[in-house]
Amino acid sequence: MSAASSHSRSFHSAEVVDPASYTPGFSYRGSQLYCEGVSVAAAAKKFGTPAYLYSRASIEQAYRRMDSAFGALPHTICYAVKANSNLGILRVFAALGSGFDIVSGGELYRLRRIGVPGNRIVFSGVGKSREEIREALRTRILLFNVESPAELDLLVSEASRLRVRAAASIRVNPDVKAGGHRHISTGHHSHKFGIDWDTARGLYLQYKDSRWIDWQGVSAHIGSQILSLAPHRRALARLAGFVRELRAKGITLRYLDCGGGLGIRYTSEQPPEKAAWAAELARVAQPLGCHLLVEPGRSLIGPAGVLLMRVLYTKQNRGKKFVIADAAMNDFMRPALYDATHPITRAKRSAGALARADIVGPVCESGDCFVQDWPLGEVAPEDVLVLWGAGAYGFVEASNYNSRPRPAEILVDGNKARVIRRRESRADLIRGE
Ligand code: LLP
């Protein structure tokens, strides 16, 4: 990886608002940061660092806000498992009554391990293997979001072998530009996702009376970390027109799956409120009489998690200050992979001007930098730092690069903090070799 020229943006102190002020589940008691009733510094001491720490209350609040925003409209929130697939987190969603969106047999395995029934699961993804399709058919999932004609052929062949009818939907590529970064934008015709309108129309008609395919819906997912409603509106208008067109041709679809993608505030972003996003979707789904499915990941779990790390050293090179932490790009990829800026603060705040530094990890790459020229304040070795907005696409993207064991994951619930994934050991590092 090249030097992180991409996240060289300098932040003015005035621009940097403490994320505790806009992150549910986190607040200060005096100078100490708390996650619900648990001191963050005490958790770092007890469980070690680096560690992911999640607030259950924050997840519940996000889910309930979204759920109630849809009101009486028939809907199912299918939490996108890829955002954070820890069993402890999935159990929180299951207890809330959530459905789930999966993209692999591995994610299906996780859900089955915690007893989620098939009719709460939708299956997306451009590369479902024969085995994955078979497993999902056996689990009698709610919906296959088919992403190519070849996948549909495979689905038909497996369904006929198992003698079950597959509940299916086509994930259309709505040809809409959206998404915060080129790596996470998915709804344009140049992207690998979905099926173009004409091909989709042909497939719906071709399999209209199929013994093995039961057309139940149509779906679209246009990207992630989307910060305006406009692209959703454009995609939805096209989807609604398509549903009506198919209906006129005798194909009545029950489900309208609008995907995920709602953005969150990391630093100064101003994402739409969940209620505004929901209202936009409801406005289209309601008159169609469809049951709405949504697949949010980041907006439900992103703000609920932080990555705790400890200062190892501080140093200066020609006047430039570096804080070297015990977490690195292998533990949290988003800055290196998507040029993402995640605020980092001290678990114990203190008054005074905030000295600036680059906050970096121990991995041997210049790209192993969480944030540059950041107003962190004075720190010393052993101080605990908090990287915010790490609940989504955090641990799930962690690797063992540089033979670094992956972090522990801790779930806070009121005054209790519990390990939901133990820190990897040295033995874990060489398991299977
Ligand atoms: N549905 C489908 C079919 C998806 O591909 C995704 C995300 C979602 C739902 C959930 O989207 P969300 O509500 O979380 O935006 N690792 C990247 C994000 C990749 C998103 C991939 N697809 C990141 O850290 O920004």
Catalytic residue among 35, 258, 364, 369: 364
Q: Does 259 sit in the ligand 1 pocket, CB within 6 Å?
A: yes
CB of residue 100 inside a 6 A radius of ligand 1: no
Query: Does the pLDDT value for residue 157 go beyond 70?
Result: yes
Q: Are 215 and 253 a contacting pair, CB within 8 Å?
A: yes
Q: What percent of the chain has pLDDT over 90?
A: 89
Three-state DSSP state, 227: coil
CA of 149 from ligand 1 middle (Å) equals 23
Task: Please give the number of the atom of ligand 1 that sits closest to the Cα of 300.
Answer: 13
Average pLDDT over residues 116-127: 97
Overall average pLDDT of the 382-404 stretch: 98
Is-contact 136 124, C-beta < 8 A? no
Active site residue 364: yes
Verify whether ligand 1 is closer than 6 Å to residue 225 (CB atom): yes
Which residue's structure tokens are 């140093």? 315
Cβ–Cβ contacts within 10 Å for residue 96, how many?
A: 16
- Does 295 contact ligand 1 (Cβ within 6 A)? yes
- pLDDT band at 351, cuts 50/70/90? confident
Q: Which domains does the chain have, with CATH numbers?
A: 3-55+304-430 (2.40.37.10), 70-298 (3.20.20.10)
Q: Is 261 in the pocket of ligand 1 (CB under 6 A)?
A: yes
Say what the pLDDT of residue 237 is. 93
* CB neighbour burial string for 257-275, b if at least 16 within 10 angstroms, e if fewer: bbbbbbbbbbbeeebbebe
Beta-carbon count within 10 A of 411 CB: 24
- CA of residue 355 to ligand 1 center, whole Å: 35
Return the pLDDT at 176.
83
- Which SS3 state, helix, strand or coil, does residue 416 take? strand
Residue 42, number of CB atoms within 10 A of its CB: 14
Q: 360-370 pLDDT, tens per residue?
A: 999 999 999 99
Nearest to 57 by CA among 296, 304, 393: 304
pLDDT value of position 1: 33
Phi-psi region of 274 (alpha: psi -120 to 50; beta: other; left: phi over 0): alpha
Q: Is 71 left (phi over 0), alpha (psi -120 to 50) or beta?
A: left
Q: Pocket of ligand 1, candidates 79, 219, 224: which has the most ligand atoms within 8 Å of its Cβ, to mutate?
A: 224
pLDDT at 13: 59
3-class SS shares of the chain: helix, strand, coil, % to 5: 35, 25, 40
Whether 413 and 56 have beta carbons less than 8 Å apart is answered as yes
Query: Which residue is closest in CA terms to ligand 1's atom 23?
Result: 393
State if residue 221 touches ligand 1 by the CB under 6 angstroms criterion: yes
Q: In the block, which residue shows the tokens 């609940």?
A: 391
pTM: 0.95
Closest CA to 295 of 55, 132, 98: 98
Residue 344 has pLDDT above 70, yes or no: yes
CA 317 – CA 99 distance, rounded (Å): 51
Instruction: For residue 127, report the distance from its CA to the centre of ligand 1, in Å.
Output: 16
Distance 192 CA to ligand 1 centre (A): 14
Chain mean pLDDT for the chain: 94
The pLDDT value recorded for residue 15 is: 64
Which of 63, 66, 82, 307 gets mutated to test ligand 1 (max ligand atoms within 8 A of its CB)?
A: 82
CB 187 within 8 A of CB 193: yes
pLDDT at 2 over 70: no
Separation of CA 381 and ligand 1 centre (Å): 36
Element (H, E) at 51: strand 51-55
Distance CA 101, CA 111 (A): 10
Atom of ligand 1 nearest to the CA of 224: 15
